[in-house]
Amino acid sequence: MQTTGQGHVRIIAGTLRGSKLPVPARDGLRPTPDRTRETLFNWLAMKIAGRRVLDAFAGSGALGFEAASRGAAEVVLLERDAAAAESLRASQERLKVAGMHIIQTDALSWLGATIGQHFDGVFLDPPFASALWPQIWPLLLPLLSDGAWLYMETAVDDEVILPAGLVPYKSGKSKHSKYLLAQWHKTAIG
């Protein structure tokens, strides 16, 4: 799905409720729709507050800012596009969001180079046409805390094979995508 012109997304709940995030006009940038985000964060309810969260393909930052708004202790947003990363930084400054780190980088490179960090929640919404899932799993799984929650969004017709230890919790779909919330159980992989 291609965006045309710059729009915005609105933070649904929490301390930043009603705040707008600009959506830069970039091919393939498709923010998670309000209804999907509302469903996701209802599922997560009390599982975000005080946690360390990663938004690996940040784009508009809607998922990462929503997590910050709902009390995440730390949020790391990764965004490859320079203009989108700058837009995220401007939003962070304008909204005075503490505990947020915006890194302009390729998500796979960053995941592969990151050692000793662990996340309690991860949002994965890579470009739909990228077929990155087989590359993501071996880089991401070592960074997950046991019991971490992982949200993933894919094109409606994509099939993604979950690695052992990642247990589906809830799922849904919209017109253009399907989404899944799963929980990581390190002990399940023996």
Q: What's the CATH number where 157 sits?
A: 3.40.50.150
Q: Is 33 part of a structural domain of the chain?
A: yes
Residue 161, sorted as left (phi over 0), alpha (psi -120 to 50) or beta, turns out to be beta
Q: Is 114 part of a structural domain of the chain?
A: yes
Q: Is 69 part of a structural domain of the chain?
A: yes
Q: First-to-last CA distance in the chain?
A: 40
Q: What CA–CA distance (Å, rounded) separates 185 from 149? A: 10
> How confident is the model over 71-103, as pLDDT tens digits?
999 999 999 999 999 999 999 999 999 999 999
* Tens of pLDDT, residue by residue, the chain (190 residues): 233 345 888 899 999 999 999 886 666 566 677 788 888 999 998 899 999 999 999 999 999 999 999 999 999 999 999 999 999 999 999 999 999 999 999 999 999 998 889 999 999 998 876 788 999 999 999 999 999 999 999 888 888 889 999 999 999 998 888 999 999 998 765 5
Q: What CA–CA distance (Å, rounded) separates 92 from 89? A: 5
> What range defines the domain where residue 36 resides?
7-189
Record the tokens describing residue 42, joined without a space: 């209802």
Tokens 């890194």 found at: 103
Q: Is 2 part of a structural domain of the chain?
A: no
Q: Is 65 part of a structural domain of the chain?
A: yes
Q: Is 159 part of a structural domain of the chain?
A: yes
Q: Is 181 part of a structural domain of the chain?
A: yes
Residue 72, number of CB atoms within 10 A of its CB:
24
For the chain, what is the domain count? 1
Polymer length in residues for the chain: 190
Q: Tell me what percent of the chain is helix, strand and coil, each rounded to the nearest 5.
A: 30, 30, 40
Record the tokens describing residue 31, joined without a space: 């923010």
Record the tokens describing residue 185, joined without a space: 């159980």
The predicted pLDDT at position 160 comes to 85
The predicted pLDDT at position 78 comes to 97
Residue 145, number of CB atoms within 10 A of its CB:
16
Q: Is 14 part of a structural domain of the chain?
A: yes
